[in-house]
Amino acid sequence: MAYHKDLREHLDALEKEGLLVRIKTQVNKDTELHPLVRLQFRGLPEEQRKAFLFENVVDSRGKEYKFPVTVSASSGSRRIYAIALKCKPEEIAAKWDKAQSHPIKPVIVESAPVYEEVHIGDNLLEHGGLDEFPVPISTPGFDVAPYLSSPFWVTKDPETGMRNVGTYRAQLKSPTRTGILMEYKEQHIARHWDKCRQLGIPLQAAISIGGSPNIGCVSVSKFPYEVDEFDIAGGIAGEPVELVKCKTVDLEVPASAEVIIEGEVSTSELEPEAPFGEYPGYMGLRGDRPFFTVKCIAHRKDAIWQSFISQRGPAEDINTYTRELFLYKLLRHDSNISSVKAVAIQQYRLLVVQMDKPERSEVMRALEIATQANPNTKIAAPLSATMPRQILCIFSSPCVQVSPKSQDCHRARRRTINELLSPRNSVVQASTNIPPWAVRVKALPRHLFRFQGSSASQHISSLARG
Ligand SMILES: Cc1cc2nc3c(=O)[nH]c(=O)nc-3n(C[C@H](O)[C@H](O)[C@H](O)COP(=O)(O)O)c2cc1C
Ligand SMILES: [Mn+2]
């Protein structure tokens, strides 16, 4: 069966499975929309979560939008995520394995429905620029503005021409301007940005909204720098992704997109970006960051706006499922650590690697590799040498601070160990069972547990010294 052609086909597939809720009541995107969806993540078991399509969206100014908004459509639950990948929930790992081992190069097509309506040059603002789209406020009362939470940024390495696709939040700043958060300098777009900065040129970029769901799945996932995410998206679909050339920048974007925003990211100036309610449940603080100047906006005449819901988990954990699988593959297969049994991640905050009777050197290697793969790591420690099995635990988040000596953490460890040792445990099942206690553990001075280029084993020795 052919893969979902675009977001519409994907939403149809969800609806057929009874997994789409259409909301026809008028909903305010600035105060109600994301909180309404968040309620289901707070209140319902994972199996009962659904995707939403808000068909009658207004904002706090009373403006009515002609475009609907879909939330939770890519990864509201494992079942929804499986539909995005067009496989069964138990086939998610195999699907990703195949996509990575059998990537398919994209093809260029001449035209695409997303360029049905184009606002460019003197006409850029004819429909209000970015104000034409119902961009929701993610955490009303706390976020400084509406943010594009599911942008798929397409950029190229200015020296090699190598392409990248990645999701980086974009604060709506004006009808022709957004912010961008490149969370750390290893992010692939940050590398492109830095090369352009050194060359003294702006970074050309295009944001794609919506499109066939494989695009979103690869956009939030970490592949090696040299990998073009569109090749992996082709691997997921079993057919090439169709790309179309942009109008104002030298880039190609998915023909299946709902909206394309073309422009350039400043490399000579920064300006304030954030606050924004972040995935660990804390506010990401304001900082001086690059911004994106819009040159062209294109969209399908009846575009559907897509938004990912993140903020405090559980949420639309679109990259948690894949991160678990990647790290498992990296440790177990690529690094050949045969004692690795399972990897569980909770929203970046906590990462647990379960190992079965490992050699001491294997624990150290696993720790080293897992921390390198997680640049935000705050604490990494082999847990419980006295337990029947060794558990490697990494607390990882820029916002959450934990003390490995506090009572809470002891409890947390026991919980985690119990969860992981339960017979139900498998790579596919592990993550969602970890409770969100990580945010409750006591804070320690940040510098104590900061990685500063030191190796993981040094770090552990310093932890051991207390
Ligand atoms: C909803 C959501 C929002 C995200 N926002 C950001 C962000 O603002 N900045 C960032 O650096 N990464 C963000 N990420 C993580 C990146 O998408 C992820 O690291 C991805 O691998 C980046 O692409 P790259 O591997 O090509 O660098 C977000 C992920 C999700 C699921
Ligand atoms: Mn990449």
Query: For position 285, what pLDDT does the model report?
Result: 84
By most ligand atoms within 8 Å of CB, the mutation choice from 37, 168, 184, 195 for ligand 1 is: 168
- Could you tell me if 35 and 4 are in contact, meaning their C-beta atoms sit under 8 angstroms apart? no
Ligand 1 center–CA 78 separation, angstroms: 19
- Residue 281, phi-psi category: left (phi > 0), alpha (psi -120 to 50), beta (remainder): left
Query: pLDDT value at position 387?
Result: 37
pLDDT score for 322: 74
Ligand 2 mean position, distance from CA 364 (Å): 27
Can you give the pLDDT at residue 452?
27
Burial degree of 160 (CB within 10 A; 0-12, 13-18, 19+): exposed
**Which residue ranges make up each domain of the chain?**
7-307, 318-391
pLDDT for 381 equals: 63
Closest ligand to C-alpha of residue 183 is: 1
List all residues whose CB is within 6 A of at least one atom of ligand 1.
149, 164, 166-169, 181-183, 187-189, 220-222, 308, 310, 318-319
Pocket perturbation via mutation, ligand 1, pick of 162, 187, 317 by most ligand atoms within 8 A of CB: 187
Q: Full-prediction pTM beyond 0.85? A: no
Among the bound ligands, the one closest to the CA of 222:
1
Q: What pLDDT is recorded for position 93?
A: 80
Q: pLDDT tens per residue, the chain (466 residues)? A: 799 999 999 999 999 999 999 999 999 999 999 989 988 887 788 889 999 999 999 999 999 999 999 999 999 988 999 999 999 988 888 898 899 889 999 999 999 999 999 999 999 999 999 999 999 999 888 889 999 999 999 999 999 999 999 999 999 999 999 999 998 888 999 999 999 999 999 999 999 999 999 999 999 988 899 999 999 999 999 999 999 999 999 999 999 999 999 999 999 999 999 988 887 667 788 889 999 999 999 999 999 999 999 876 677 877 777 777 788 889 988 999 998 877 777 655 567 777 777 787 887 788 788 877 776 665 566 664 333 344 444 443 322 222 233 333 334 344 443 343 332 322 222 222 333 322 222 232 222 222 222 333 333 333 333 3
Q: Give the separation between CA 332 and CA 323, rounded to whole angstroms.
A: 14
User: Greatest CA separation found in the chain?
Assistant: 70
The number of the ligand 1 atom at minimal distance from the alpha carbon of 164 is 26
Please classify residue 64 by burial: count the beta carbons closer than 10 Å to its beta carbon, then call 0-12 exposed, 13-18 middle and 19+ buried.
Answer: exposed
Mutation probe of ligand 1 site: the residue of 169, 285, 289, 348 with most atoms within 8 A of C-beta: 169
pLDDT at 370: 82
Q: Which residues pair with 271 in a beta bridge?
A: 289
Cα(166) to centroid of ligand 1, in Å? 6
Domain 7-307 has CATH 2.30.110.10: yes
The answer regarding whether domain 318-391 maps to CATH 3.30.300 reads yes
Per-residue pLDDT, 422: 33
Amino acid sitting at position 396: S
Residue 312 CA to chain centroid, in angstroms?
14
Which H, E and C letters describe 260-310, residue by residue? EEEEEECCCCCEEECCEECCCCCEECCEEECEEEEEEEEECCCCCEEECCC
Sign of CA dihedral 140, 143, 147, 149: negative
Atom of ligand 1 nearest to the CA of 165: 26
